């Protein structure tokens, strides 16, 4: 039981740090790093559940693979937006993209 709990607590702390980062940083790239950390924490949760509760259900492992693709995709699209922002307004600071509010 302790194994599962420690793994989940570790994932919770990682998630908390990721959330802090995503909320506190002003730069789009740093915010993306926060989100990646949160996704990493989610994956730890998934593997912990697979290992300690349902080792025969491999759909969990498949879901971890999907989570990895989400991570990669989020990075790619995020950088594309950052490039476009940098080209148009010369900055990727969130403070200065007020005009995107629309």
Partner 1 sequence: MISIQLILLIIFGLVAIWFGWRVFMTSSMVRSALSLLGSMVAIGALFLVMEAEFLGVLQIMMMGTEMSIMAVFMMMYMMDPGGLGNMDMSHQKNLSIAAGVAVTVLITGAVLFADWGTIVTQVPSPHEQNRLLGMEILKRSMMIFETAGVTILTGMIASIAVALSIKSSREK
Partner 2 sequence: MNFFRRWMAKAASRELCIFPVPGSDVLRTYQSESLSGQARLTTNSREANVLLVVGDMSRAMAGQAAIVYAQMPRPRVLVMAGPEHLDPLPHPDVHVTLENDFLTTALPVIREYLSNHSWKDEAEAWRPETLVNKIEEAGQQQGHMHDHGGHDHGHEGHQHGGHEGHDHSAHQHEEHGHGHHTEHASHDHGHNHGGHDHGAHGHGGHDHGSGFMSMIAMTKDLPRSADGLPMEWSDVQFGPFHPGLPGGLCLSMKLDGDTVAEAEADQNLTGRNLLASIPDNPMALPEYLEAVNPMAPVTYRLLAQKALVNFSSEAGNSALTLPEAVLLEKERITSHLNWLAVLAVVLGSDWMRDQAIKHYHRFQNDTGSVPQLSGFIKRVKKMPYLKLKLSVASHGIGETEEHNQGVAGDTHVEHHYEHNADSHSDHCHEEGDEYKPHDHGKPGHEGHGRGSHGSHEQSHEGHEHHHEEHNHSDHQLKDHKQESHEHEHADHPHKEGDESKKHEHHGEHNHSHEMHQHAGHEHHEHVHHDHGSGDEKEQAIGPGLNQLLGDITGPVARAAGIEKDHRLEEAVYQQAGWTPVTATGNNAWSRLMVRLDEIEQSLRFIEKAGNDSGSESSQKINIPSIGMGNGIAHIESPRGKVTLKFHIHEGKLAHVHLASPSAALAGLVKPITEQQELADALTAVTSLDISPWEINP
Binding site for partner 2 (CB under 8 A): 26, 83, 86-87, 89-93, 95-96
The token duo for 4 is: 């599962």
Positions in 34-93 near partner 1 (CB under 8 A): 34, 36-37, 40, 43-44, 47-48, 50-56, 58-59, 61-62, 64-66, 68-69, 71-73, 75-77, 79-84, 86-87, 92
DSSP 3-state of 1: coil
For residue 34, which of 16, 48, 46 has the smallest C-alpha distance?
A: 16
Cα within 13 Å of Cα(93), Cβ side: 4
Looking at beta carbons only, is 55 or 96 nearer to partner 2? 96
Instruction: Tell me the number of residues near partner 1 by CB under 8 A.
Output: 72
Neighbour count for residue 1 (Cβ, 10 Å): 6
Q: How far is the CB of 101 from partner 2 (least distance, A)?
A: 15
Instruction: Name the binder of 99 from partner 2, partner 1, none, CB < 5-8 A by kind.
Output: none
In sequence order, the β-bridge partners of residue 27 are: 93
């Amino acid at each position: 039981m302790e194994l599962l709990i420690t793994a989940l607590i570790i994932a919770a702390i990682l998630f908390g740090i990721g959330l802090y980062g995503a909320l506190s940083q002003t730069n789009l790239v740093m915010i993306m790093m926060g989100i990646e950390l949160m996704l990493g924490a989610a994956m730890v949760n998934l593997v912990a559940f697979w290992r300690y509760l349902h080792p025969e259900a491999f759909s969990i492992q498949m879901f971890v693979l999907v989570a990895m693709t989400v991570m990669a995709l989020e990075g790619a699209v995020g950088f594309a937006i950052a490039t476009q922002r940098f080209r148009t307004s010369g900055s990727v600071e969130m403070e200065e993209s007020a005009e995107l509010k629309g």
